[in-house]
Amino acid sequence: MPFVVYATPNFTENAVRFLDKLTQIPEVRLGLITEEPLILLRQEISRRLAAHRQVQNPLDASQLEAAAREMQAQHGTIHRIIGPVEIMQVPLAQVREALGIEGLDVETTLNFRDKARMKAKLREAGIPCARYCAATHPDEARAFAKECGYPLISKPPAGMGSLSTYKIHSESELENVLRHMPPAPGHEVLFEEFINGTEHSFDTFSLNAEPVFHSLSHYYPNPIEVMREPWIQWQVVVPREVDDPMYDDIREAAFRTLQVLGMHTGMSHLEWFRRPDGSIAISEIAARPPGAQFMTLISRANDFDALDAWARMIIFEEFTPPKRQYAAGAAYLRGMGQGHVKAVYGLEQVDREIGHLITDAKIPETGRPHSANYEGEGFIIVRHPETVVVRAALKKIVSTVRVELS
């Protein structure tokens, strides 16, 4: 029975979901490394663990390695060490190399984690992506802005999602970003051309360097626009027509991206754009399962357990591709303004009109603090065999449900 170690900084909702699934795989003994004490984890999950080590800083590879070595001495060889949190990918790879554990190595992980390095490899391979500058000095950013023009996007090279990502419209806004996030050697700031177009994602299961299953999503609207406009409730659609020829270009580019960056076995989450002229551009890609309820969306669209499939693929190197049966979509419930959730309106009407399409929901709880990201305070997930029905249902939700803050 393989001994597998899962590492996470704390017990977020997503981390607990992964833990719950991993501890229910009967053929696996699971160890856990966290920053938080085990008492904070639900007892029905913690009692299924084979081992636990608490560390002060789970982003420190030396602390992770020491905890893993202790576990290995007590419970036997570690078969895999995994964790879906983006900022832990490099430390986990360092532990794999130090202990001889199979999985993505440090150099490959850096190809996915360091966005400037990633884009350099993609451009060298002729894969379409945004023009960029990894600035180590403010003058490099200014020169790039002069060459590329406005608007621009700025982000840290090891960013995730739309956190610390800004759209820069003018020279004065650029100077403001440079004051608050000054680039320097060892602390580069990534500047990219702003791509006009619609934003999407492409999620892939890869086994032994071969893509064995993929899914894609459409964003309504682009996340950076959601972050700029607090009144927008974000929507994501996973279309049923995933194998349609209209996606041949991004399918080819995504699979080539994985090959160039060195993906072996695991999930990847790729962000991409389609310009008004129909051309595509890769934004970035992460070597981990997606967040923001995407695993649930993939599960509902294909009528299988995507999380269980990912875990079994990583641990046992087995995967049976499901057949796409539905379209699925998520409406993220988001309050406008600051404060805490006071009330949620419109749920009864939504349930009355499209309740038969709803598969999952997290209704914002009264008293919950306002969320600063595009996922908001809750969500409603729907599915149907027809993509147009899912799209219409999401529009109904975001036009009807209102989250009041106080």
The bridge status of strand 189-193 relative to strand 152-155 is: antiparallel
Q: Please tell me the predicted confidence (pLDDT) of residue 45.
A: 97
Residues 195 and 276: their CA atoms lie apart, in Å, by: 10
Both structure tokens of 156: 């840290």
Q: Please tell me the predicted confidence (pLDDT) of residue 163.
A: 53
Both structure tokens of 141: 């950013």
**Choices 3.30.1490.20, 3.40.50.150, 3.90.340.10, 3.10.105.10: CATH for 131-193:** 3.30.1490.20
Q: Please tell me the predicted confidence (pLDDT) of residue 200.
A: 97
Q: Please tell me the predicted confidence (pLDDT) of residue 161.
A: 47
Q: Please tell me the predicted confidence (pLDDT) of residue 166.
A: 83
Sequence ranges of the domains in the chain: 3-103, 131-193, 198-405
Residues 394 and 57: their CA atoms lie apart, in Å, by: 40
Amino acid at 179: R
Q: Please tell me the predicted confidence (pLDDT) of residue 160.
A: 47
Q: Please tell me the predicted confidence (pLDDT) of residue 87.
A: 92
CB atoms within 10 A of CB 57: 12
- Pure H helices in 115-200: 115-124, 138-148, 171-180
Q: Please tell me the predicted confidence (pLDDT) of residue 164.
A: 65
Give the list of residues 6+ apart from residue 278 with CB closer than 8 angstroms, or none.
Answer: none
**Contact criterion met (CB below 8 Å) for 156 and 162:** no
CA 376 to chain centre: 15
Taking 70 as the pLDDT cut, the residues of the chain under it are 157-164
Give the list of residues 6+ apart from residue 262 with CB closer than 8 angstroms, or none.
Answer: 104, 107, 108, 111
- Please, what CATH class does the domain formed by 3-103 belong to? alpha beta
131-168: string of b/e by CB count within 10 Å (b at 16+)? ebbbbeebebbbebbeebeebbbbbbbbbbbbeebbbb
Peptide bond just before 245 cis, omega within 30 deg: no
347-354 helix and 387-400 helix, angle to the nearest 10 degrees: 160
The whole-model pTM stands at 0.91
Q: Please tell me the predicted confidence (pLDDT) of residue 17.
A: 94
CATH number 3.90.209.20 given to 198-405: no
Residues 365 and 401: their CA atoms lie apart, in Å, by: 14
Q: Please tell me the predicted confidence (pLDDT) of residue 197.
A: 94
